[in-house]
Structure 1
Amino acid sequence: MHQATYPPTEHLVIVGNGMAGHRLVEALVGKPGRPSRITVIGEEPDPAYNRILLSPLLAGEMERDALTLRDANWYADQGIELILGERVSDIDRQVQRLTTDAGRTLAYDRLVLATGSSPARPPVPGLELPGVHVFRDLDDAEALIHYSQNPAGGRGGSAVVIGGGLLGLEAAEGLRKRGQGMRVSLLQRDDRLMNRQLDATAAGLLESELRERGLDIHTHAQLERLEAGADGRVGAVHLADGTRLAADCVVVAIGIVPNVALARRADLDVNRGIVVDETLTSADPAIHALGECCEFQGTTYGLVEPIWRQVEVLAAHLAGETVDGYVEQPSATKLKVSGVSLYAFGPIDPDPEHEVLAYHDPEQGDYRRLLLRNGRLEGAVLYGDTASGPWYFEQALAGVDLGPCRAALLLGATDAQALLDESNESPHCPAKEAA
């Protein structure tokens, strides 16, 4: 437990109006000890929006306005100063003042860096060519939407998406759905899609589904270079095995890199991310970091679930409340592609001590694989019917001994929970004997 010993912050400045920074603001406004003055600075011109919904926006399943979390009027109603379209260029820690690229200066009592991340870029020739995109913010989504409606190559165009993880799959499927007659190829350097979350069977089901939809998928794809076309724009992608793919649009979606340049210039402790302690406090006690730009005990972040837990801790800390420090917990993965349901958590590859339970119905496209150690669930991969995913995850987090319901585990949460309840009521459990 950590008790804040300083008085409630007089002026809190939050650098970053993304999902993490905005979530912090919403958490603070409901607290009695909220800072008396809050200023939010966002580099993008738009108020905070739900970045998770960029994929359905690209796919044409959602309108842009639906992504906005709160409009500028909400900030004003809460007594919060919102500054958009400016980037913080310098932090003077000695006098606790920051400067933006517009020449604005602001003094702060406490500062939160929620600067997010940037797309990672592979070190290959041709990446600077016109027609090469990333997929990270509203402007990126709008650029891809414009391309899909006006392909440079005409007749639907040819797009290549680099990256077979969550973001790459969402970008590729979004382009396929948005573009009429567009040929979309997806490159994955590993042997299977989503190799960090899915085993070979689930990845194979996913690949088959996406191929049936029309995606051209290349695994074991080692990117060599991008080739310029006659017009100077990107015209093709070359792989190390000699494959050449025509492409008038390339999307790089291989991961993210924490935005730490501002923190480095301020001489804060930075590894991959801005190093923070269990209260999200940096090496400077007046400066905190949150979300994708921070690093805690060697871990950096790309999923919202742990970031929301960070927000709870930091909001309580800034409001002067007694707070439990942030601790790492497992997170579950879901894919945001319409018509594809998957849910996964924990280790992908079983070790010799794991008990593996699996169910596969190829005709229905359902697959479940559970990894147990001494009766306790450590990992799960679900494809197709994922309704029981949250229940599995809850049992794994709680470390529940699932031995009494082992025989029903693959049948789903309802049957398994019924056996667990029965075993708790009676010391004699027939299911345990049957297992």
Structure 2
Amino acid sequence: MTPRRVVIVGYGMAGARLAERIRAHDPEGGRVALTVVGAESRPAYNRVLLSGVLAGTMTAADIALHDPEWAARNRVRLLLGATAVRLDREARSVLLADGASIGYDALVLATGSRPWLPPVEGLADDRGAPAAGVLTLRDLDDCLRIVERARPGAPVAVLGGGVLGVETALGLARRGARVTLVHPAGRLMERHLDRTAGTILARRCRAAGVRTEIGRSAVRHYPGEGVKLEDGAFVPAAATVVTAGVRPEIGLAADAGLATDVGVVVDDRLRTADPRIHAIGDCAQAGRVPPGLLQPAWEQAAVLAGLLTGAGGTARHRAAPAVTRLRAGDVDLTAFGETHLELDSPDAEVLCYADPARGTYAKLALAGERVIGAIVLGLPDVAATLTQLHDTGRPVPGDRPALLLGRALPPAAADPALLPDSAVICRCNAVTKAALVRAARSAGGDLAALVGATRATTGCGDCLPRVRGLVDRLGHDSRNTTEGEGT
């Protein structure tokens, strides 16, 4: 049987993950002849961890997903530094910028997204590209350019106070740059945080050396000098980093006549209007999932890999609730679900705990006994517990205030081995407790081997304590069993 020709356009995290999952189902390449087209000149890496490189706590090698021999080892034709410029749906081929053409039986668009430049005078040149002195943060090259400009003592303006903007500002401040974070909304991360959480987060940023200009928009950029704000104030900046959001890369699909809206429109099999063409990740419009989130992209990759190899049966993509995490310096923030409900909400029970002086905040929204939303700042154990309760749908303990303070964690929070098998331990890679237990037993309880088998902890890294705790518990149980057999 001739292998099916599958071409993935895009070698970011979604495309790389899809390639891995396809080869997990078809390691010898007998069913799928796989080609991956990557615009960058280096193997895939973890974009989520770019903030660590920016802060100097990680290197480029630390965030690599694949080594240079990965493609050859896994029978993947990998084209680096290659740009797809046109799709020929009738001929079923992809035209590259160098004139080469690649035929396909199934095509996957994993083209990601591009940074958005707000309409601020002087921010973009005549072609719409960043003007002199303006930097965006989307790939590793961007990150390295920013690091080069943000030397200790250098004034830097960061425009945009979402997750990426806050992480960028804190990372550059850690390097010694004099950072000003400019955000037009009334609070930082307004999509995810209520007013109290936004206020405490801003205080944490200022304590870390980041000056904040909140509720004021930039109106003009002066190259090498700085940014003028709407009230006439001036922010000195030798470099201006724009973190104002992203826009899905849909040009290839739109030019080929495929349906596009915010992204490339796909169904629950990740198919476009052309059944031979699929889309995943930031470029795909799959339900209401916003771009820029890792977990949905990898869930899509798992479903699509099964469908393309025939191993997935009738699998369909169902978007799981997204969890927003911010990990920068000593700031630890988690938010998910219904975060904007007020204390007097008629639709939910809402509890809050705030300690602005210590920079901690916890807000919990319940429907009956179930968690439907939370904001947790500076209390990582509480965040982990509430996330697990939300994921598993388990009822919360009766002592709600103690739960918010981390003083009455349910047994499963203290011991991951007590979680149900279906509990998702690593959200980034959709790794359940059952999958970890199987991998741990086959790997002999070695953490490194477990990570290699499941990729748990290789996303945001937030699950590492739970994975390590589970491995330790399994090793302990195994030792006790062995000792018991020997008596």
Runs of 4+ in 1 over 6 A off after TM superposition: none
Give the Cα separation in 2 of the matches to 1:107 and 1:418. Answer: 51
Deviation at 1:374, TM superposition (A): 2.6
| Residue 282 of structure 2: aligned partner | 292
* Counterparts of 1:113 and 1:171, CA distance in 2: 28
Q: Where does residue 219 of structure 1 map in the other structure?
A: 214
Residues 183 and 234 from structure 1, CA distance in 2 versus in 1: closer, same or farther, beyond 3 angstroms?
Answer: same
SS at match of 1:328: coil
Counting only pairs closer than 5 Å after superposition, residues 80-119 of structure 1 correspond to structure 2 as 80-119=76-115
Cα deviation 1:226-251 (Å, max 9, x = unaligned): 12xxxxx3422111111111222111
**2:266 touches 2:284 (CA, 8 Å); kept in 1?**
yes
Judged with a 3 Å threshold, the aligned counterparts in structure 2 of structure 1 residues 346 and 298 are, in CA distance, closer, same or farther, namely closer
Asked if the contact 1:316/1:323 (under 8 Å) is kept, the reply is no
1:246 aligns with 2:240: no
Deviations 1:186-244 (A, max 9, x none): 011111111112222222222112111211101101221112xxxxx342211111111
Q: CA deviation at 1:415?
A: 3.6
Q: Specify which of 353, 360, 364 is matched with residue 354 of structure 2.
A: 360
- The whole-number CA distance in structure 2 between the counterparts of 1:203 and 1:196 is 10
Matched residue SS, 2:376:
strand
Post-superposition offset of 1:262: 0.7
How far apart, in 1, do the equivalents of 2:212 and 2:409 lie? Answer: 38
Identify the range of structure 1 (204-213 vs 33-42) with the bigger mean alpha-carbon deviation: 33-42
Q: CA deviation at 1:402?
A: 3.2
SS at match of 1:388: helix
Confirm or deny: 8 A CA contact 2:117 2:242 kept in the other structure.
yes
1:373 Cα deviation (Å)?
2.2
Residue 132 to residue 363, structure 1, CA distance change in 2 (3 Å): closer
> Partner residue of 1:333?
324
1:418/1:57 CA distance change after superposition, 3 Å: closer
Cα 1:310–1:411 change in 2 (3 A) is same
1:272–1:300 contact (8 Å) kept in structure 2: no
Alignment match, 1:147: 149
Q: How far apart are residue 401 of structure 1 and its match?
A: 3.9
Q: Please give the alpha-carbon distance, in whole angstroms, between the structure 2 residues aligned to 1:137 and 1:357.
A: 39
Q: Are 1:203 and 2:203 an aligned pair?
A: no
What RMSD in Å do the two structures reach over aligned CA positions? 2.1
Query: Residues 20-419 of structure 1: matches in 2 within 5 Å?
Result: 20-32=14-26, 35-128=31-124, 129-149=131-151, 156-178=153-175, 180=176, 182-227=177-222, 233-321=223-311, 322-350=313-341, 351-402=345-396, 404-406=398-400, 408-412=402-406, 414-417=408-411
Q: Which moved more, 1:65-74 or 1:88-97?
A: 65-74
Bigger Cα displacement from structure 2, 53-62 vs 63-72: 63-72
Cα distance, 1:9–1:121 mapped onto 2, change above 3 Å:
farther
TM norm structure 1: 0.87
Amino acid at match of 1:252: V
Structure 1 Cα separation of the partners of residues 216 and 356 of structure 2: 27
Partners of 1:86 and 1:319 lie apart in 2 by 25
Which digits, 9 at most, give the CA deviation of each residue in 1:40-77, with x for residues without a partner?
A: 11011111111112111111111222222112311111
- Unaligned 5+ runs, structure 2: 125-130, 414-487
Shift of 1:362: 4.2
**Structure possessing the higher relative contact order (Cα contacts under 8 Å, 6 or more residues apart):** 1
Q: Which 5+ residue runs of structure 1 have no aligned equivalent?
A: 1-6, 150-154, 228-232, 420-435
Q: Tell me, in whole angstroms, the C-alpha distance in 2 between the residues paired with 1:141 and 1:54.
A: 7
Paired positions, count: 401
Q: Which amino acid is 2:263 matched to?
A: G
Q: What amino acid is aligned across from residue 363 of structure 2 in structure 1? A: R
Q: In 2 relative to 1, CA 54–218 (structure 1 residues): closer, same or farther, beyond 3 Å?
A: same
Q: Which moved more, 1:99-108 or 1:64-73?
A: 64-73
- Cα distance between partner residues in 2 of 1:244 and 1:362: 29
Identity of matched residues, %: 38
Asked if the contact 1:294–1:300 (Cα under 8 Å) also holds between the matched residues in 2, the reply is no
Greater mean alpha carbon deviation, residues 341-350 or residues 30-39: 30-39
Offset of residue 370 of structure 1: 0.6
Any conservation in 2 of the 1:406–1:416 contact (CA below 8 Å)?
no
CA distance in 2 between counterparts of 1:52 and 1:361 reads 29
